[in-house]
Structure 1
Amino acid sequence: MIAVLGECVADGFAERREGELTLRVLPGGGPANTAAALARLGTRARFLGRLSGDVFGELFRERLAGVDLAYAVDAREPSTLAVASLDGDGKARYSFHAEGTADWQWTAAELAGPVLDGARCLHTGSLALVRPPGRDVVEAFAAAAAARVTVSVDPNVRPSLASREAYAVERWCAFTDVLRLSDDDLEFLRPGEPVERVCDEWHAAGARLVVVTKGADGALVSLDGARAEVPAPRVDVVDTVGAGDAFTAGLLHWLDQRGLLGGRLDGLDLEQVREAAAFAAEVAALTCTVAGADLPADRLPRVPSAG
């Protein structure tokens, strides 16, 4: 089982007409997207989130129907809303309504007890690791979890909600085994720096596997400094919402199917990483063929047997 800690966000897609603006709201939020995609791929997933009792919270629970919500928190605060506009390539730009919402109010008591029982991996990141007041609780929980499980982190940078300094990637690397981020994230965090040098610095800080996704240009994988490029499948893109989250789900699903999760990835080699990333790229591409962060259930790829 893979546990995922983080937020649910209501993604509102705007349609402008004279005198009015209509929002089509779909369930989103990077960690929730990853949990839902893991479950759809066939990996048992547990979501550690704070779910509001409002109408958006009902939408989130419906979307996470295949995910273990036994340790999700029933929150009194409202849900987070993100209003998205799409450019000509289907890439979203967001404006957030996130002050005082449920996702950032974590307390240590809410993450105590058997929340990781049965888990081989904890995936977290995104806004839950950078938004006060709960960010310190989430980081401390992830750091402690590293003694028990493989830890995966996706910074999922949102410059409108958190400063560059809030994304303490070097510090997170001390407890992170898998670090997945986009090329846009990398440019925001380390503008103008060569990706190879940044990867090597993050390896030195503790992260074994760094994956930089590059949209239609595929992904760069770096395992302890050994690197490879992985192409992306060509598809007809509806939008790219949730593609990175789906990539993470595909990557972790592949590693889980091969029995590589649960420790520090000691048995992992570069060829396996290349195969895992190719599978993940296929999962991400499928997500781009439909609206919103929704992995199509009728076309799911399968992890081939080892050997």
Structure 2
Amino acid sequence: MIAVLGECVADAITDEQHAGDGGLALRVWAGGGPANTAVALSRLGTPARFLGRVSHDVFGTLFRDRLTASGVDLSACVTAEEPSTLAVAALDERGRADYTFYATGTADWQWTPQELDLARLGGSSCLHTGSIALVKGPGGEAVEEFARAAAARATVSIDPNVRPSLAAKDDYRVERWCSFADILRLSDDDLDFLLPGVPPEHACDTWHAAGARLVVVTRGAAGALVSVDGERATVAAPSVRVVDTVGAGDSFTAGLLHTLDAKGLLGGRLDGLDLETAVAAAEFAARVSALTCAVAGANPPWADQL
């Protein structure tokens, strides 16, 4: 089982076809990077446990229904009194989303150390976390300390999933996270924000030196760079007609972790991982991501679609 810790977000995407005179129509999807990853893992066939603070409001019901329908274990979730986080997105001509977040005082960021005891991991071989829950106060520090403690018993995977409108560059303490994380997956946009002007290969070496064994930088249609302890290769992205890219990176992470889990590599420090195996995992992850891009919203594929 893989545990995923982080936020649920209501993704409201502009719908020009149904907008009335002088109005704006929105279509709301259950989203949030970590929740998307948990859904994708479960749909691929890897048992997934979601650790989230899920509101009691109408969006919280939407989140629970989607996670449950995908087979995700919600027994480690907290039912929160605070409202859900809302993100309103406009899509550009390439299907990429530009988000405006409504996140002040919402449920996802209120974690306390008392809510994050290691018993919530159950028998998980891996903890995946990151995104806004790892950086936004007041709960970000509690999430980081939980992930650090989890490293004693599980592989740790992190996706920064940078959101400049919600957190500053200094809030993304990637080198510090790499001291306890085994896997770092980030996008080229994340890299440009975190280390502007730094070549991806040099960035990978920085994070390897800090402790991460596997670093993957996804580049959209250009594929991905895979680096294992400084040994590198590139992976092509499958050709697909893009509807939008919402959830594509989250699905890539799920495909990567699913494959590593199937090969029995999770549960420790990735001691048995070599570059060839990492590349095969990234190739599968790229297929999962491509199929997510081919449909509207963060709607990752099921195993039989692959």
Q: TM-score, normalised by structure 1?
A: 0.97
2:184 is the counterpart of 1:190: no
Match of 2:59 among 51, 56, 59: 56
Is the CA contact (8 Å cut-off) linking 1:49 and 1:103 kept in structure 2? Answer: yes
2:243 is the counterpart of 1:238: yes
Q: Which amino acid aligns with 2:10?
A: A
Is the CA contact (8 Å cut-off) linking 1:13 and 1:85 kept in structure 2? Answer: yes
- The equivalences for 1:1-307 within 5 A come to 1-16=1-16, 17=19, 18-65=21-68, 66-297=71-302, 299-301=304-306
- What is the total number of aligned residue pairs between the two structures? 301
Percent identical among aligned pairs is: 69
SS in 1 for 2:25: strand
**What stretches of structure 2 of length at least 5 have no aligned partner?**
none
Distance, in Å, in 2 between the alignment partners of 1:289 and 1:299 is 16
Provide the alpha-carbon RMSD of the alignment: 0.9
Is the CA contact (8 Å cut-off) linking 1:290 and 1:296 kept in structure 2? Answer: no
Distance, in Å, in 2 between the alignment partners of 1:113 and 1:70 is 14
Residue 22 of structure 1 deviates from its aligned partner by 1.1
Residue 87 of structure 1 deviates from its aligned partner by 0.3
SS in 1 for 2:50: strand
Distance, in Å, in 1 between the alignment partners of 2:22 and 2:131 is 35
SS in 2 for 1:115: helix
Residue 300 of structure 1 deviates from its aligned partner by 3.0
Residue 38 of structure 1 deviates from its aligned partner by 0.3
SS in 2 for 1:174: coil
Residue 162 of structure 1 deviates from its aligned partner by 0.3
Q: TM-score, normalised by structure 2?
A: 0.97
Distance, in Å, in 2 between the alignment partners of 1:261 and 1:93 is 34
Is the CA contact (8 Å cut-off) linking 1:37 and 1:246 kept in structure 2? Answer: yes
| Runs of 4+ off more than 6 Å | none
Distance, in Å, in 2 between the alignment partners of 1:176 and 1:295 is 25
Task: Label 1:298 to 1:221 Cα distance change in 2 as closer, same or farther (>3 A).
Answer: closer
Task: Label 1:299 to 1:85 Cα distance change in 2 as closer, same or farther (>3 A).
Answer: farther
Is the CA contact (8 Å cut-off) linking 2:42 and 2:48 kept in structure 1? Answer: yes
Q: Which amino acid aligns with 1:290?
A: V
